[in-house]
Amino acid sequence: MRLFMVLGAVIIINLIDASFSKESKHVPSIGGFPMSHKIEKNGFNKISSRRPSENHGSNIGNYPLTERSNRLEKKHLSLVLSSIQAFSADSNQLLKTAENEDIKTIKPSQFIKNRSKSRKMAHPRKKRHKPVPIVSPIKVQTSSAAPLLLDHPVLTMKLYEPGHLNEEIDIQRICMHRGLSLRLLILITSAQTHFMARMSIRQTWIHYGSRRDVGIAFVLGRTTNATLNEALNKENYIYGDMIRGNFIDSYFNLTLKTISMLEWADTHCPNVKFILKTDDDMFINVPKLLDFIGRQKDNRTIYGRLVDKRMPERHSESKEQQNGAIEYTTYTTGPAYLLTGDIIHELYVQSLRTNYIPLEDVFTTGIVAENLKIERMQSDDFRNVRTSLNPCYIRNVISVHNIEAHEQFYLWRKLLDPTIKCKTVWRIYCGAVQQPK
């Protein structure tokens, strides 16, 4: 745009200068007799003409030819000069603006104002026409790190990028021989900055991962923070227990994190008997969980804290606000649920073919499991809430939610303390602990 304006100004000025730079210019008169006017080279305001006697007495509109034509010529040249000066000033102003601001950012109203100003200077007595409005394109800014908000259904396969960073992870220790001798694989979804949460788990109940029939690992995503990424690389080099998928790690991408977990298990541990999905703020009673697994004979089943069909929550901070007034199917709550190993491949494949929602437990154990006709079973051993930390109570449940890093050590010590004797029978009512009379 700027180049075309400059070229146009140069061409107009050259044409006018060429047409008036000659010593004489012959303009045919209305009566057929030639009129000759000499225009000096030093400007447009010095005009000389021949005497009336040299023009053969020709008249235009009852006025002497020479005097009338001179006045009209002078007025015309004055208007031309004003137009050129206005166009040049307008071009210079736009060029000056473009030097400090990208040409795409010049407001349409500013361009219209400058264009109208030049027309007013060139044609002072002429009524201006309303300029045609200029519509600017709307730009949409996107960011890979921004929360994933969707206003229309999108297949998950269009959002999910398969694959993992497995350079530093000890796959053989976590799932030896692709899970042929593995009873239980515990996969813990963790936020990248939750280093203390991971360390507290590593020093407490993750020790059961040293058993030959138990594998335990953390599941994370990617980050655009170079410093944080370097810290995660060093942490994984030391411990080798962090599965890292190809998605931006954020709260609204928990569904992608769960799919990444399923993909890793399907690729590297397809023969495992059971998989527990849990979070890094959970205390897991692994001995109680192994005892629970030993009693199960079902296939194609998900065990956990069952939630019947319900309407989505409406509060503003909830991920559920994006899903409108849909009714959810029955599902198990996300802090901890147990999957039989024979459904991992089906869950992974069907998840990619399902429309994405950011509620990972509703998505995986609800919508996808329902489409695959997978049974979901209630187990009171999965508490998945913040409950009493009484040692006798903890020994009778599988999972407790909202556990701080320092509390992991307390529960771990009480769980293994042989001096604590639980002589009474404890009953559980909706998360409350009551001692019978």
Could you give the number of structural domains in the chain?
2
Q: How many other CB atoms sit within 10 Å of the CB of residue 269? A: 24
Q: Residue 420 domain-assigned?
A: no
Please indicate, yes or no, if residue 399 is contained in any of the structural domains. no
List all residues 6 or more positions away from 411 whose beta carbon is below 8 Å from its beta carbon: 204, 283, 389, 394, 400, 403
Q: What is the mean pLDDT of each run of 10 residues along the chain (437 residues)?
A: 61 60 43 40 41 39 47 53 50 45 39 43 46 33 42 90 89 93 96 96 95 96 94 95 95 95 97 97 96 92 88 47 58 96 97 95 96 95 87 91 94 91 56 41
Determine the pLDDT at residue 298: 84
Question: How far apart, in whole angstroms, are the C-alpha atoms of residue 365 and residue 363?
Answer: 6
Let me know whether 21 and 162 are in one domain: no
DSSP strands (E only) in 12-95: 25-28, 34-39, 47-49, 59-60, 63-64
Reduced to 3 states (helix: H, G, I; strand: E, B; else coil), residue 434 is strand
Q: Are residues 193 and 92 in the same domain?
A: no
pLDDT at residue number 79:
52
Asked if the structure places residue 143 within a domain, the reply is: no
Q: 71 and 198 share a domain?
A: no
- Which of 73, 107, 122 marks a domain boundary? 122
Nearest to 351 by CA among 375, 373, 367: 367
Strand ranges for 280-402 from DSSP E:
283-284, 301-307, 331-340, 375-378, 399-400
- The β-bridge partners of 113 are none
Read off the pLDDT of residues 322-345 as tens digits, 9 standing for 90 and up: 444 356 689 999 999 999 999 999
Residues 249, 192 within the same domain: yes
How confident is the model at residue 387, as a pLDDT? 81
| Final residue belonging to a domain, choices 67, 101, 122 | 122
In a domain, 9, yes or no: yes
* Domain extent at residue 8: 2-122
Alpha-carbon gap, residue 428 to 256, rounded angstroms:
34
Which residues, including other chains, have CB under 8 Å from residue 101's CB and lie 6 or more apart?
none
Q: What is the DSSP string of 131-191?
A: PPPPPPPPP----TTS----SS--BGGGT----EE-SS--HHHHSGGGGTT-SEEEEEE--
Residues 351 and 261 in one domain: yes
Is 92 found in the same domain as 236? no
Is residue 53 domain-shared with residue 199, that is, in the same domain? no
The structure tokens 């953390």 sit at 218
Residues 60 and 184 in one domain: no
Q: What is the CATH number of the domain that holds 213?
A: 3.90.550
- The pLDDT assigned to 310 comes to 63
d(CA 385, CA 394): 12
Q: Is residue 135 part of a domain?
A: no
pLDDT per position as a tens digit, 221-261: 999 999 999 999 999 999 999 999 999 999 899 999 999 99
Residue finishing a domain among 96, 122, 148: 122
Q: Is there a domain that residue 69 lies in?
A: yes
Does residue 419 belong to any structural domain of this protein? no
Same domain, 74 and 160: no
Residues 115 and 167 in one domain: no
Buried b (16+ CB within 10 A) or exposed e, 55-66: beebeeeeeebb
Q: Are residues 82 and 180 in the same domain?
A: no
Is the Cβ–Cβ distance between 253 and 186 less than 8 Å? Answer: no
Classify residue 425: in a domain, yes or no. Answer: no
Asked if 233 contacts 168 with a C-beta cutoff of 8 angstroms, the reply is yes
Provide the pLDDT for residue 144.
41
Question: Are residue 88 and residue 229 in the same domain, yes or no?
Answer: no
